[in-house]
A and B are shown apart, each in its own frame.
Chain A
Amino acid sequence: MSGSAPRRIGAVMLRHLYLMRGSWPRVLEMAYWPAINMALWGFTSQFFTTHSSWVAQTGGILIGAVILWDVMFRGNLGVALSFMEEMWSRNLGHLSVSPLRPHELLAGMLGMSLVRTTIGVLPAALLAIPLYHYSLFDMGLPLLAFWINLLVSGWAIGLGVSALVLRFGLGAESMAWVMIFALAPVAGIYYPISILPQWLQWVAWALPPAYVFEGMRSVMQGHGFDWGLLAGAVGLNLFFVAAAALTFLRVHHIARRRGLLLNVGE
Chain B
Amino acid sequence: MAVDGISFTVATGSTTALLGGNGAGKTTTISMLLGLLLPDSGAIRVLGEDMVRHRYRVLPRVNFSSPYVELPHRLSVAENLTVYGHLYGIPELKHRIAQLAEELDLTDILKRPAGKLSAGQKTRVALAKSMLNQPELLFLDEPTASLDPDTADWVRGYFRAYQRRTGATILLASHNMAEVERLCDQVLMMKQGRIVDTGSPADLLQRYDRDDLEQVFLDIARDRRQPQATS
Indicate if the CB atoms of A256 and B37 lie closer than 8 Å: yes
> Is A198 on the interface with B (CB-CB < 8 A)?
no
Partner of B87, one of A11, A90, A93, A261: A11
Indicate if the CB atoms of A1 and B89 lie closer than 8 Å: yes
Partner of B74, one of A22, A90, A262: A22
Indicate if the CB atoms of A259 and B75 lie closer than 8 Å: no
The residues in A between 219 and 266 inclusive whose CB is less than 8 angstroms from any CB of B are: 256-259, 261-263
Indicate if the CB atoms of A2 and B89 lie closer than 8 Å: yes
- A-chain residues with CB within 8 Å of residue B82 when the two chains form the complex: 14, 18
Indicate if the CB atoms of A90 and B36 lie closer than 8 Å: no
Complex formed: what's the CA distance from A93 to B90 in Å? 20
- B-chain residues with CB within 8 Å of residue A95 when the two chains form the complex: 87
- 1/0 per position for B74-87, CB-CB distance to A under 8 A? 11100100111111
> Is A97 on the interface with B (CB-CB < 8 A)?
yes
Indicate if the CB atoms of B64 and A94 lie closer than 8 Å: yes
The residues in B between 42 and 97 inclusive whose CB is less than 8 angstroms from any CB of A are: 56, 59-64, 66, 68-76, 79, 82-91
Number of interface residues of B (CB under 8 A): 41
The residues in B between 125 and 179 inclusive whose CB is less than 8 angstroms from any CB of A are: 129, 133-134
Number of interface residues of A (CB under 8 A): 35
Complex formed: what's the CA distance from A240 to B94 in Å? 41
> Is B28 on the interface with A (CB-CB < 8 A)?
yes
Partner of A7, one of B35, B86, B134: B86
Q: A11-B84, A22-B113 are in contact. List 8 more A-B contacts (CB 8 A).
A: A1-B134, A3-B89, A91-B70, A93-B36, A97-B63, A98-B84, A99-B56, A259-B31
Indicate if the CB atoms of A22 and B69 lie closer than 8 Å: no
Indicate if the CB atoms of B59 and A99 lie closer than 8 Å: yes
Partner of A94, one of B62, B129, B133: B129
- B-chain residues with CB within 8 Å of residue A122 when the two chains form the complex: none
Partner of B36, one of A7, A91, A259: A259
Q: How far is the CB of B89 from chain A (nearest CB, A)?
A: 2
Indicate if the CB atoms of B72 and A19 lie closer than 8 Å: yes
> Is B6 on the interface with A (CB-CB < 8 A)?
no
Indicate if the CB atoms of B69 and A262 lie closer than 8 Å: yes
Indicate if the CB atoms of B84 and A94 lie closer than 8 Å: yes
* Nearest A-chain residue to B59, judged by Cβ: A99
